[in-house]
Amino acid sequence: DTGVSQDPRHKITKRGQNVTFRCDPISEHNRLYWYRQTLGQGPEFLTYFQNEAQLEKSRLLSDRFSAERPKGSFSTLEIQRTEQGDSAMYLCASSLAGASVTYNEQFFGPGTRLTVL
C-alpha cells in the first residue's frame, strides 16, 4: 500500500519563475486537498477536489495559483510569477468520500518544500 506521494520534495527557484508540483493520492481516494505550511505554523487549506471537480478554494489561493486534477487521479499545483512570500511547504492530502463515509480522514503526503530566492 503506497501512501500519498509528492514530487519534487524540494524546489528552489528565483522570484518571478513559475513552478509546478505534483501529488499522487492514495489510489482509491476520490478527494484530494492542497495545504500550505509555513515555518512554525499549522497547515492552511488552499483547495480541494472531489474526483476532477475543484469544489472549494481558499482566499489564500491568489490568481497566481492554479490547481488541476484532470482525470480525477493525480493533481498539479502551479504557482506563476513566484514571490518570496510563497516560500513554504506545500502539502497534499487525500481522503475517501462516499455514502458510508461521514467523516473526513485526511492522509498527508511528505510535502514539497519551496524556496523562492
Partner 1 sequence: GENVEQHPSTLSVQEGDSAVIKCTYSDSASNYFPWYKQELGKGPQLIIDIRSNVGEKKDQRIAVTLNKTAKHFSLHITETQPEDSAVYFCAASKAGRRALTFGSGTRLQVQP
Residue ranges binding partner 1 (CB under 8 A):
4, 31, 33, 35, 40-45, 48, 55-56, 58, 91, 95, 102-111
Neighbours of 107 (CB within 10 A): 15
Smallest distance from the beta carbon of 16 to partner 1, in angstroms? 28
CB nearer partner 1, residue 41 or residue 62: 41
| Residue 116 CA, distance from chain mean position | 17
Contact present, 113 and 50 (Cβ < 8 Å): no
Contact present, 76 and 20 (Cβ < 8 Å): yes
CB nearer partner 1, residue 1 or residue 14: 1
CB nearer partner 1, residue 80 or residue 91: 91
d(CA 22, CA 45): 17
Smallest distance from the beta carbon of 35 to partner 1, in angstroms? 8
CB nearer partner 1, residue 73 or residue 110: 110
Smallest distance from the beta carbon of 99 to partner 1, in angstroms? 14
Contact present, 52 and 117 (Cβ < 8 Å): no
